[in-house]
Amino acid sequence: MAQVIPFRAIRPHRNKVSLVGSRSYINYSEKDFQIKLAANPYTFLHIITPTYGLHDHGELSMKERYKEVRSRFEDFKDKGIFQRDEQPNYYVYEQIKHNGQSFIGVIAGVSIEDFNEGHVKKHENTLTKREAVFANYLRETKINAEPVLLTYKHQDVIDEILVRYSQTRPEYEFSTTDKTVHNLWLISSPHDMDHMSEAFTHVPDMYIADGHHRCASSARLSNDLTDHYGTEHGEAYDFFMAYLISDHQLNILPFNRLVSGLNGLSTDELLEKISEKFTVEKLARRSKPKQKHHMHMCLDNAWYKLILNENLINENDTISQLDSHQLSETILGPILGIEDIKTDSRVHFYAGDKGLKGMQKMVKKGTADVAFALYPVEVEQLIDISDQGLIMPPKSTWIEPKLRSGLTIYSIFDK
C-alpha cells in the first residue's frame, strides 16, 4: 500500500504566487533565463541562482553555492514572500492548458520506504554522480521545491475527493504566460485528510513519470541520515514531495529525434536502406504518426511514413514495442552509425509538445539532415515496463503536466 502524508508546505503569499512559481530552470534558454531574473524580483529562479546581480561573489564551491540558495530562501521568507502553513495539509493542484486539457492531482509526502521496497517504480536509470550532487543540494538547502511526478492506477475514491474540492473556491488561481491556468486547494479537514490517506492505502504501487533523479536523490539522503542518526521511519526526510496523478490524467507525448549527417549516404541511398525494414510511403503533408510502429520522417523538406515490417516486432518483448527502441535498432544504429544516442552529438531530441513545424524548419535550414516523429508511449506501456523492472531507451517520453517550482515547498528536516 502507498504511504502518503499531508505536510506543512512553505508557499508563496497569495498575492505573489503568480510571480514566484517558475518552470524548471533547464527549460529556459540562457537569454530567457536572464530576462526573467532581471524583470521579476519574486521569481523562484532568484533562489536557485543566488549570485545573480552580485559582481564580487568569486568562484564558489558547490557547498557554498548551496548555502547561498538557503540564504536567499530565508531572505524570501523574511520578506513575507513565503509563508508556512500552521498545520499539515494535502494540496489539490490543477492545471488547465490553453487547449482546454486539464490535469488534477494531489501534492503530498510519499514514503522513502516505498521507494526502497520497490513500490515506487521507475522506468529510467539514474546516474550515481547526479544522485550524489542533488542529495548534497537537499542536505544543504533543506528544502524540496519541485514535486516528483508520480502516477498510479486510478481509484474512484481519490477522484471523488479531488472533484469535490475542485468545485470550491481555490486558495490559488492564476495564469502564466504559456496560457495555463493554475489552481490549488488545501485539504485541511482532519476527516478529509484521513479519507485521502486511507484511500491511498488501496494503491499498491506508484510509478515515476518525471523526476527519477530527484526521487533517487531524496532516497539517498534519507538512507544516509537514517544510517547516521539511527532514527525510526517518520522523520521529515523519510518522505519526499510528490504530485500524485491518476493514470487516467497523465499525458505522454513523444520525444522526437533530429539527426545531423546521413553517415555518408545520399537521400536516395538512405531511403533505399530504410525500405529494407519499412514500407515507405511519401506523405502529401506534414503529420504525426497515428499508431504504433508508424514513424514519420522529414528528409529534404519532404515527409514520409515509415511502417515497420511485422517480422521485426516481437510481441513478447515489451521494450521492442517502443518505437524509440525500434528507431535506434533499425535506422539510427545500423544505417546512420549512431550506437549510443545518449552520447552521440549528432542526435538531438525534440519535445513532442512543440509540434512538427519546428522540426521541418530545422531540416530545411540544414540544422539537421533528417527528423523522425514517433508515436507516443502509452501509459499502460510505462506501467508495464516499470512493473517488469525494465528500462526505457533514453528520452522516450515527454510527460505532462510539467510542474512549477516554488508553489509548495517541503521542509526536509521539519514536517
User: What is residue 54's predicted lDDT score, i.e. its pLDDT?
Assistant: 55
User: What is residue 2's predicted lDDT score, i.e. its pLDDT?
Assistant: 84
| pLDDT single digits (tens) 216-229 | 999 999 999 988 77
State how beta strands 181-187 and 206-210 pair.
unpaired
Q: Contact at 8 Å (CB) between 209 and 110? A: no
User: What is residue 1's predicted lDDT score, i.e. its pLDDT?
Assistant: 76
Q: What is the mean pLDDT of residues 75-103?
A: 96
Q: What is the mean pLDDT of residues 230-240?
A: 83
How far is 148 from 284, CA to CA, in rounded Å? Answer: 41
User: What is residue 23's predicted lDDT score, i.e. its pLDDT?
Assistant: 84
User: What is residue 55's predicted lDDT score, i.e. its pLDDT?
Assistant: 52
Higher pLDDT, 2 or 378: 378
User: What is residue 232's predicted lDDT score, i.e. its pLDDT?
Assistant: 67
Q: What is the mean pLDDT of the chain?
A: 94
Q: What is the mean pLDDT of residues 194-206?
A: 96
Cell of 107: 501534492
The answer on pLDDT for 197 being more than 80 is: yes
Which residue matches cell numbers 519535445? 351
The answer on pLDDT for 57 being more than 60 is: no
| pLDDT single digits (tens) 36-53 | 899 999 999 999 988 766
In SS3 terms, the chain reads as: CCCEECECCEEECCCCHHHHCECCHHHCCHHHHHHHHHHCCCCCHHHHCCCCCCCCCCCCCHHHHHHHHHHHHHHHHHCCCEEECCCCEEEEEEEECCCCCEEEEEEEEEEHHHHHCCCEECCCCCCHHHHHHHHHHHHHHCEECCCEEEEECCCHHHHHHHHHHHCCCCCEEEECCCCCEEEEEEECCHHHHHHHHHHHCCCCCEEEEECHHHHHHHHHHHHHHHHHHCCCCCCHHHEEEEEEEECCCCEEECEEEEECCCCCCCHHHHHHHHCCCEEEEECCCCCCCCCCCEEEEEECCEEEEEEECHHHCCCCCCHHHCHHHHHHHHHHCCCCCCCCCCCCCCEEEEEHHHCCHHHHHHHHHCCCCEEEECCCCCHHHHHHHHHCCCCCCCCCCEEECCCCECCCEEECCCC
How far is 186 from 36, CA to CA, in rounded Å? Answer: 29
| pLDDT single digits (tens) 239-298 | 999 999 999 999 999 999 999 999 999 999 999 999 999 999 999 999 999 999 999 999
| pLDDT single digits (tens) 160-171 | 999 999 999 999
| pLDDT single digits (tens) 330-352 | 999 999 999 999 899 999 999 99
State how beta strands 370-373 and 294-299 pair.
antiparallel
Q: Contact at 8 Å (CB) between 335 and 273? A: yes
User: What is residue 398's predicted lDDT score, i.e. its pLDDT?
Assistant: 95
Share of the chain above pLDDT 90, in %: 87
User: What is residue 293's predicted lDDT score, i.e. its pLDDT?
Assistant: 96
User: What is residue 356's predicted lDDT score, i.e. its pLDDT?
Assistant: 95
The answer on pLDDT for 97 being more than 90 is: yes
Q: Give φ, ψ of 251 to 5 degrees.
A: -125, 120
How far is 99 from 94, CA to CA, in rounded Å? Answer: 15
The closest of 112, 351, 387, 389 to 247, measured between CA atoms, is: 387
* Sign of the dihedral through C-alpha 98, 103, 107, 113: negative
User: What is residue 53's predicted lDDT score, i.e. its pLDDT?
Assistant: 60
Q: What is the mean pLDDT of residues 15-23?
A: 94
The closest of 316, 317, 343, 312 to 327, measured between CA atoms, is: 312
